[in-house]
Amino acid sequence: MGHEVVVVGSVNADLVVSVDRRPAPGETVLGSDLATYPGGKGANQAVAAARLGGRVGILARIGDDGHGELLRSALEEAGVDLAHLLVSGGPSGVALITVGPDGDNSIIVSPGANARLEPGDVPAEALAGAAVVSFQLEIPLPTVEAAARAAAEGGARVVLNLSPAAAVPDEVLALCDPLVVNEHEAAFLLGHDGAPGVPEAMARDLLDRGPRSVVITLGAQGALVADSSGVHEVPSPKVEAVDTTGAGDAFTAALCLRLARGDALADAARFAARVGAAAVRKPGAQSSYPSVGEDLPAL
């Protein structure tokens, strides 16, 4: 039996420090003890979908360092198929994360081995039989392009989370069902300067760019889904945010899993909003993800 979800993406070690306030240029502030968590947008999505009971595989690269061992162990413990987890010489990817008192985070990513995941690393058998293949942009864009084409040709549904924001070819956008973006990523793709526009208008404008469907995540305000039937609002449960790190990845993972199981887009997004809200209640990314059977916040 094939995978419900295959994630093609990044695997990082998240180095997290909490601060009372972020430093100004040239300023030093004291923070909490440094905590190291397994992360990376690709690994986060794979772990989140596996924790929810999904049959999940990952195509990614780690380094042959200590971080790589941590990352492999975390994926294995979650039940992710590691047949296509590749190892390169040198460092694994690392994300440097500061968490403010409001739970919001700022992130700098050092790609490490992720930057060496190449189009030639995408064997057809890695994607064969997958219902949904999920992508993000913490790996080289040519690899995303090659794998997205291969996934579509193999009959999989392609989900692209445009994060971090980058220009992608129209032919890749045309494969997305859905394209998943937050407000800032949507504004980037639409060429808006400054603040994002009205979400409903941005959703329609993004559809005009060619994807088959669009999801705009709005944090505590939920999400918008847009397809040929129109634009629909999806609320988010009200929870007390402790740490938003990786919450968007939890949302996308849950969305992919429910789409793989045949849910309509709006129904999948409603479930995903509950999983994303559950993830902000605990610190860390993967460490905050709910397991199958765990009570989720109600809408």
Q: What is the pLDDT of residues 130-178, one digit of tens each?
A: 999 999 999 999 999 999 999 999 999 999 999 999 999 999 999 999 9
pLDDT at position 206 over 90: yes
- Say whether 238 counts as a known binding-site residue: no
Does 206 reside within a domain?
A: yes
Does 293 reside within a domain?
A: no
Stated pTM of the model: 0.92
- Say whether 64 counts as a known binding-site residue: no
- Say whether 171 counts as a known binding-site residue: no
Which of left, alpha, beta for 155 (phi over 0: left; psi -120 to 50: alpha)? left
Mean pLDDT score, 183-195: 88
Share of the chain above pLDDT 90, in %: 83
Does 198 reside within a domain?
A: yes
pLDDT at position 219 over 70: yes
CATH code, domain with 213 = 3.40.1190.20
Does 211 reside within a domain?
A: yes
Structure tokens at 19: 């601060």
CB 282 within 8 A of CB 276: no
Does 278 reside within a domain?
A: yes
Does 242 reside within a domain?
A: yes
Measure CA of the first residue to CA of the last residue in the chain; give whole Å: 33
Q: How far is CA 174 from the centre of its chain?
A: 19
Does 272 reside within a domain?
A: yes
How many domains would you assign to the chain?
A: 1
Q: How far is CA 213 from the centre of its chain?
A: 17
Domain that holds residue 200: 5-10+40-93+112-288
The pLDDT value recorded for residue 197 is: 80
Size of the chain, expressed as the number of residues it contains: 299
CB 221 within 8 A of CB 183: no
Question: Where in the sequence numbering do the catalytic residues fall?
Answer: 249
Classify strands 230-234 and 223-227 as parallel, antiparallel or unpaired: antiparallel
- Say whether 286 counts as a known binding-site residue: no
Does 106 reside within a domain?
A: no
